[in-house]
Structure 1
Amino acid sequence: MVEALNKRIEENADKMIQSLSEIVQIPSVYGEPQEGAPYGKESRRVLQYAMDLGKKLGFETVVNVDDKVCYIEYGTGSKLVGIFAHLDVVPEGKGWTYPPFGGEIHNHRVYGRGTVDNKGSFIASLYALYSIKELGLPLGDWRIRIVGGTNEEKGMDDMKYYVSKCGAPDAGFTPDGLFPMSFTERVINYYFMSYALTEAPTGSLKVVSLKGGNILNMVPDEAEAVLEAVDEAGAKKVAEATAKYCAENGKELTAEVDGKQIKIHSKGLCAHSCTPFNGKNAIVAILMFLAEQNLGGSMGRFLDFFKEKIGYTTDGSLMGMARADECGKLTFSLSKMEIDESMLKWVVNIRLPFTYKDEVTADWKAQVESVGIKIVDMDLHKSYRFPLDHPLITTLRTVYEELTGKDSTPSFEGGTYAQAVPNIVPFGSIFPGTPDLCHRPDECIEIDEYILDAKLFGNAMYALTQTDK
């Protein structure tokens, strides 16, 4: 631990907080690709902010990698320590106390989308490197590079591109997970499916449309369905059934009747899809209500399948797919669904233990294909597992123990750039006992923890330059 570095980071704390407030005000949600902005104009704008800040802090090496990634570097050595954070964010969602893109300070916290995931860590890492530069700490044959990506929330195309162009670091970390660190991560699979609604409903109600979900790694907090009854009296009965279902099951569904049609709006609670049990899936609430309505036909069979095999569970247990190992437990999240009168399209996100990676797709196919659901595409991520005596792991553990005085036993959570960039692991930024507000309303970071983040990142990146590997 370098005490002079910790002191300098404290001296830079006000500037660090101001920069975080400013960068949070850029709503860097994925947008339509444009010339010079492959992930949308706001993603490109946040990239420019990061590069401008790097230049403002006096770094000579500030590089734009084809408007997808930027990096800011210090040192002249042949070996590279890389810190990989992302500057894109998920949509704000509903239920905020303070403006999601305000970067406001309340109760000694900075509020806003990205404060935790992951702009805060980028800014803290950059100021940690700035403090190393100010102090002139010797790096030997090493360089330190802070890398900012802009497509993490949409599949990590940015970092795959970066590695193809710039290569992998010799060592490093991504501050986009949990402290103390993760030596492995669950595998992340997305399954894109379709189901043809070839047989008309046999009951007195049909689904005209249903839509919910935007970002694939979020639990959808809103969904809406349009139903049609045989007559106005039937529509009113559906509205009454909706109210009864909510009262009995604690769900937030509202029904609006217009002649024979009923519009049902579902309100849930967004959460990161790695912890779907922390959210309330708005799509699932509608599907489970519809499963009670005896629709019949193709739609009825799908709803029967969904109720029997998935329901409100998030662990795969109803499908016989519940698994757990040292990498964690399997989680299941319905990310997106669109239904019209002829087709049902849906996307699920399954995060699974490392030792289940070779069987999960076959098991999932067996479940869905038996009822006529087609898998039209798959996004199957790779993962990794470092031995606990690896120098990267032992170095980061030592830094964490020295600075916090707490146990450094590694964890296994995350869905981070470490799955796309070799030779790195997640290191922070959420501390044990701190609520995980990623992708949730009122995302915020405690200022004291934010400063400690910077100290941990600074000491970690410097310690890695003092190792032989």
Structure 2
Amino acid sequence: MRADVMESVEKYVDEVWEDVVSDIASLVAYPSVADASAAEPGAPFGRPVRDALDCSLGIAERLGYEVTDDDGYVGIADIPGECEEHIATIAHVDVVPAGPGWGTDPFSMERREGWLLGRGVIDDKGPAVLSLYAGAFFLREGITPRYTFRALLGCDEEVGMTDVKHYLAGHEQPLFLFTPDTEFPVCNAEKGCFGGTFKSAKIENGIIRSWSGAEATNAIPSQSECIIAVPLSELPAPQANADRITLEDTGEGCTRIFALGIGGHASLPEGTINAIALVVGYLHEVMDAQPDLFDPSERSYFDLLSVVHDGTAGEGLGIAAESDAFGALTCNAGTIEVADGHILQTIDVRYPDSTTSDEMTMICGAHASRFGAEFIAGRAKEPFSVSADSPAVRALLNTYREVTGKPAEPFSMGGGTYARNFKSAVSFGPEDNGLELPAWAGSMHGPNEAANEQLLRDALKMYIIALVRLNELEF
């Protein structure tokens, strides 16, 4: 990159940075958890998401974009180029539920010691604001880009990506797109996504009254609470993980079992502890000591849960798989509930190209049947990739190398992003999983979600330079 362009980028980032932080704070303030059951005209995912979309479009309009929206599914912010064909970014303004364990208000951004704290600061409201300011560099410098630049703002990424499906049904594909919704340098391959629910047989005389885990299937639960109809005085003290399990008398002959794990994103299980698995382990201790407390259907289902929670790579279920291009499969059992006499445990699987959703459905169904339960298959998305030799991918890698001075090769990941919905798209930052978090900070999808300001500043530089470079390519 020419020295004068780099100098202009550096100056621009310095000038706008406080506005960037202020706009991130404004967007974080909306508890924009997508909920299609709360749909309104023009707000297919509920009013809080619509409000967040309007906030982000207001930022774009203030920066000089031409703004529209796709019936409330996707926000569209354009900077017209020399031709109508466009390159694009896409970020999302919806978030996962805040969940428990926060030390701050998740929807009131806090700035602390070079970090931003709040739900969405790194996934994906902070990056959404960066994408808008990246394109606005052209406007600030009076540059008409070769290709129209389009910043897309999604509203349903965390739940099902029906937003982008609606958008693509009525709009042309971009020449190339990147989404700022993963870590650096460039993710050019995403594992397949597979999910389903293990449903117990009808439990007529069970002791489980309620059970909770994560708020979303793609989150590893940091806490789990199970209420059982057994007096505290009749229960043994926890043996394994005693420091993570507490028992409390709730009255009326019931006991609350509370487990404290270490949460995180379903695709990144390393270093986490699934709180539901802790409860399952304790209930097996109770079962070993007093098997007659449990309904036979409960005992059988708990045995199934032990299989489901055996490892984070699907080892217990027998669905473990890996490949050179995509790495190893991950399996997260994130949400659990009691409903209409059944216990329902979900799984969220990110899988390589060496297995298939049909094969996993067959295996999970066989396990469920063996324990008198049922497996209900849910979503299934095949693995996808873009060639590492693509000129656009090389442009992003070169940008990362130039700004950071670090080596860069493309990688695959288990997280599912918008990129898989487009013909030519990758994920490009802004996270850095090698960055050490302060004790009071957390990762995306967990409590105390945090983003490092310097990392975001560097990401903004990279996004601007990447857009400049992409405008130099022939597509």
- Same fold at TM > 0.5: yes
TM-aligned CA deviation for residue 266 of structure 1: 3.0
- Of residues 108-117 and 217-226 in structure 1, the stretch that sits farther from structure 2 once superposed is 217-226
Aligned to 2:348: 349
Relative distance call for 1:429 and 1:357 in structure 2 (3 A) is farther
**Alpha-carbon separation, structure 2, partners of 1:82 and 1:439:** 25
Residues in 2 aligned to 1:137 and 1:408: alpha-carbon distance in whole angstroms = 29
User: Which letter maps to 2:193?
Assistant: I
Uncovered stretches (5+) of structure 1, i.e. residues with no partner: none
* Amino acid in structure 1 at the alignment position of 2:150: R
Match of 1:170 in 2: 175
Report what 1:216 is aligned to. 217
1:257 is displaced (CA, Å) by 4.5
- Equivalent residues in 2 for 1:265-414 (5 A)? 265-292=258-285, 293=287, 294=291, 295=294, 297-307=296-306, 309-325=307-323, 326-340=325-339, 342-357=341-356, 359-413=359-413, 414=415
Specify the SS of the correspondent of 1:12. helix
Q: Aligned pair 1:21/2:20, yes or no?
A: no
Per-residue CA distance 1:412-465 (angstroms, 9 max, x = gap): 123111122331110101125125711122212222111111111111122112
Question: Residue 123 of structure 1 aligns to a residue in which SS?
Answer: helix
Q: In 1, Cα distance between the equivalents of 2:448 and 2:77?
A: 30
Paired with 1:266 and 1:35, the residues of 2 have a C-alpha distance of 41
1:251–1:195 CA distance, 2 compared to 1 (3 A)? same
Deviation, structure 1 residue 306: 2.2
Amino acid at match of 1:332: C
**Alpha carbons 1:323, 1:330 under 8 Å: kept:** yes
Return closer, same or farther for 1:334/1:11 CA change in 2, 3 Å cut-off.
Answer: same
Deviations 1:249-274 (A, max 9, x none): 54233332524322323333331111
The alpha carbon displacement at 1:287 in A equals 1.9
| Farther off after superposition, 68-77 or 144-153 | 68-77
The offset of 1:405, in angstroms, is 1.4
Instruction: Provide the residue aligned with 1:244 in structure 2.
Output: 238
> Which digits, 9 at most, give the CA deviation of each residue in 1:348-369, with x for residues without a partner?
1011112323533333333323
Q: Deviations over 1:148-177 (max 9, x none)?
A: 111111111111111112232110101101
Q: Is 1:468 aligned to 2:461, yes or no?
A: no
Task: Give the Cα separation in 1 of the matches to 2:205 and 2:101.
Answer: 38
Q: Does the residue aligned with 2:170 lie in a helix, a strand or coil?
A: helix
Could you tell me which of 434, 448, 456 is aligned with 1:450?
Answer: 456
Unaligned runs of 5+ in 2: 437-441
Matched, 1:7 2:11: yes
What does 1:26-65 correspond to in 2, within 5 Å?
A: 26-31=30-35, 32-59=38-65, 61-65=66-70
Q: Deviations over 1:267-298 (max 9, x none)?
A: 33331111134433222222221122133501
1:150 and 2:155 aligned: yes
Q: Distance in 2 between matches of 1:456 and 1:64?
A: 27
The answer on whether the counterparts of 2:53 and 2:93 sit within 8 Å (CA) in structure 1 is yes
Inter-partner Cα distance in structure 2 for 1:421 and 1:430: 22
Distance in 2 separating the partners of 1:419 and 1:382: 9
1:418 is aligned with what amino acid? A
Letter in 1 for 2:95: V
Q: Which moved more, 1:97-106 or 1:147-156?
A: 97-106
Counterpart Cα distance in 2 of 1:68 and 1:5: 32
Q: Measure, in 2, the Cα distance between the counterparts of 1:259 and 1:121.
A: 49
Identity %: 26
- AA matched with 2:282: F
Q: How many angstroms apart in 1 are the aligned matches of 2:421 and 2:389?
A: 22
User: Residue deviations 1:320-348, cap 9 Å, x none?
Assistant: 32222221211111121122573122211
User: Matched residues in 1 for 2:84 and 2:351: separation?
Assistant: 37
Structure 2 counterpart of 1:427:
428
Contact 1:327 1:412 in 2 (8 A): yes
Amino acid at match of 2:352: P
Contact 1:175/1:429 (8 A) holds in 2: yes
Which amino acid letter does the alignment assign opposite residue 63 of structure 2? L
For the 8 Å contact 2:321–2:351, the answer to whether it is kept is yes
CA–CA distance in structure 1, aligned partners of residues 319 and 255 of structure 2: 36
Cα shift readout 1:91-150 (whole Å, capped 9, x = no counterpart): 22233333221212110222111110011111111111111221133422x111111111
Partners of 1:356 and 1:387 in 2: how far apart? 21
Q: Which residue of 2 aligns with 1:258?
A: 251
- 1:345, 1:336 → 2: CA distance? 8
Q: 1:446 to 1:165 in 2, by over 3 A?
A: same
Deviation at 1:57, TM superposition (A): 1.2
Within 2, Cα distance between the matches of 1:403 and 1:253? 48
